[in-house]
Amino acid sequence: MPDFKKTYDFPGGEILLFDKELEWTSFDVVNKIRYNLCQMMRIKKLKVGHAGTLDPLATGLVLLCTGKATKKIEELQLGEKEYIATLKIGATTPSFDLETEEDSQADFSHVTRESFEKVLPQFIGNIEQVPPVFSAVKVKGKRAFDYARNGEDVKLKAKTIVIRSIEIESFNLPEVKLKVVCGKGTYIRSLARDIGEALNCGAYLTGLIRTRIGDYKIEDAFKVDFFLENLNLNETN
């Protein structure tokens, strides 16, 4: 569990671990922390940035860097990620998650734990993955989700990503829970889509928790409100 025994030097540089709330964006976390730290320290500006976006419908670990530590953001983004992903088998959505309504359902009675395990090896290693159209990938100067939400067709190119491992945490059809360890740029929503296609019945993401980035773990992360409420227990510079 995280604690407040240390004294923070935010301008000098801190790496802060937060457990992001559902429906918050990563920038919501940055903005709230930066605003409150500036108020507490009575300063006008403080550099604060995050080391890797987490979707609003996902929860879990977000790394924030303050002050001089913002120079470490690029390095931190390269850290291996670990996720707990919950998939619904036998249905699809346009966004590959709960942002949009189901647009198809299919029979999944042929899917067993054994057949599920058989498709997983094709998604491990260096693989080509097409990002979701409901994503922040830029296409002709606009975000892909801007096209998608306007009902416009947009084609995204496949990118090479690395998935280290996929383990089944629980198997209770139509729900399957996976632990995924992967590199930078991996879309777990796209992985859910691709697994569904390999099973010939579709699948989409119903829950996602990021549990690790490099050596940083969710167990050591603060809830944002708890952090701010208890920050007065420490000196700030």
Pairing relation of β-strands 48-50 and 59-66?
antiparallel
Q: Which residues are catalytic?
A: 55
**Residue keyed to tokens 């042929």:** 110
* The token pair that represents 197 in the structure block: 């296609």
The pLDDT of residue 237: 43
The pLDDT of residue 85: 98
What's the CA angle centered on 101, arms 84 and 161, to 5 degrees? 40
pLDDT of residue 3 exceeding 60, the answer is no
CA dist., res. 72 & res. 81, Å (int): 17
pLDDT of residue 79 exceeding 90, the answer is yes
Mean pLDDT calculated for residue range 164-184: 98
**In the beta sheet, which residues pair with residue 190?**
none
pLDDT of residue 87 exceeding 90, the answer is yes
| Residue of 209, 233, 231, 235 lying closest to 35 (CA atoms) | 231
**Residue keyed to tokens 């975000």:** 143
Mean pLDDT calculated for residue range 18-35: 95
E strand intervals along the chain? 14-20, 48-50, 59-66, 81-89, 91-92, 104-105, 125-129, 138-139, 142-143, 159-172, 175-182, 203-213, 216-217
**Residue keyed to tokens 């189901």:** 102
CA dist., res. 15 & res. 73, Å (int): 9
Mean pLDDT calculated for residue range 101-128: 97
Q: Which residues contact residue 196 at a Cβ distance below 8 angstroms, ignoring those fewer than 6 apart?
A: 87, 89, 92, 202, 203, 204
Average pLDDT score, the chain: 90
Whole-number percent of the chain with pLDDT over 70: 86
